C-alpha cells in the first residue's frame, strides 16, 4: 500500500519527452504540473514493476536516493528547456555541473506519487544555480542544490 497519495489520473509523458532527451527506463518524470516564471513542478509515480526495486532492497523495496535526485535534475532540465524555448535556445540540453547539499528526509516506496519542485535561483557565466525538493503528500522527501549549463554537446550521436 502506498504511503503517499496516488496520482488522480494516469499521467502522460508526451510533453516531457518533447522537452528533454530522457527516455524509459531512465525517465523519472511523468508530467509537468505547473510552471510559473523560474519555478516548475512535476509529478512522478514510482511503479512497483520497475526493475531497480528487485535489487533495492529485495523483500523491502525503497526508491534509490540517486534516482530521486535524478528526478529533480530531470525536472530542472524541463524548466531549462521551457525557458530556453521561449528565448529561441533550441538544440541544447542542460548538463549537470554541480550537486551539493543533498538532504534525504523520508523514503519513497513503490506506488508512491511524488511532487518535484525546481527553482532557478540565479545565472552566472552560463551556469544556472537551482534548488529542488520532493514531497510525497505533506512529507518532505529531499532537498538538493545543483547547477546546470545549457549546452549543445559536441560530437554527440543521436538516434531516434
Residue from 83, 97, 13, 84 nearest 47 by CA: 13
pLDDT at 152: 72
Report pLDDT digits (tens) over 13-49.
588 999 998 999 999 999 999 999 999 999 999 999 9
Q: Check 35, 56, 84, 128 and give the catalytic one.
A: 56
pLDDT at 155: 64
Q: Per-residue b/e over 93-118, b at no fewer than 16 CB within 10 Å?
A: bbeeeeeeebeeeebbbeebbbbbbb
**121-127 long-range contacts, Cβ below 8 Å, gap at least 24?**
121/38, 126/150, 127/97, 127/98
Report pLDDT digits (tens) over 105-158.
999 999 999 999 999 999 999 899 999 999 999 999 999 999 999 887 666 565
Check pLDDT > 50 for residue 8: no
Residue 56 falls in the annotated catalytic set: yes
Residues 6+ apart with CB under 8 A from 94: 76, 77, 80, 81, 128, 148, 149, 150, 151
pLDDT at 66: 98
pLDDT at 90: 55
pLDDT at 160: 52
* Domains defined for the chain, CATH in brackets: 14-151 (3.10.129.10)
Sheet-wide strand order for 127-136 = 31-36, 39-45, 113-124, 127-136, 139-151, 93-104
Report pLDDT digits (tens) over 39-79.
999 999 999 999 999 999 999 999 999 999 999 999 999 99
Check pLDDT > 50 for residue 98: yes
pLDDT at 10: 41
Report pLDDT digits (tens) over 83-96.
887 655 556 788 99
pTM assigned to the model: 0.88
Amino acid at each position: 500500500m502506498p504511503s503517499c497519495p496516488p496520482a488522480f489520473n494516469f499521467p502522460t509523458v508526451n510533453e516531457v519527452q518533447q522537452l528533454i532527451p530522457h527516455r524509459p527506463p531512465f525517465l523519472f518524470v511523468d508530467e509537468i504540473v505547473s510552471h510559473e516564471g523560474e519555478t516548475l513542478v512535476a509529478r512522478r509515480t514510482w511503479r512497483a514493476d520497475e526493475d531497480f526495486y528487485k535489487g533495492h532492497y529485495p523483500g523491502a523495496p525503497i526508491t534509490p536516493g540517486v534516482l530521486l535526485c535524478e528526478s529533480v535534475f530531470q525536472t530542472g532540465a524541463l524548466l531549462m528547456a521551457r525557458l530556453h524555448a521561449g528565448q529561441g535556445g533550441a538544440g541544447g540540453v542542460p548538463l549537470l555541473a554541480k550537486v551539493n547539499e543533498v538532504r534525504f528526509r523520508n523514503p519513497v516506496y513503490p506506488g508512491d506519487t511524488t511532487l518535484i519542485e525546481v527553482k532557478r535561483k540565479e545565472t552566472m557565466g552560463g551556469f544556472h544555480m537551482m534548488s529542488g525538493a520532493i514531497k510525497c503528500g505533506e512529507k518532505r522527501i529531499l532537498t538538493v542544490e545543483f547547477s546546470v549549463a545549457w549546452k549543445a554537446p559536441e560530437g554527440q550521436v543521436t538516434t531516434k
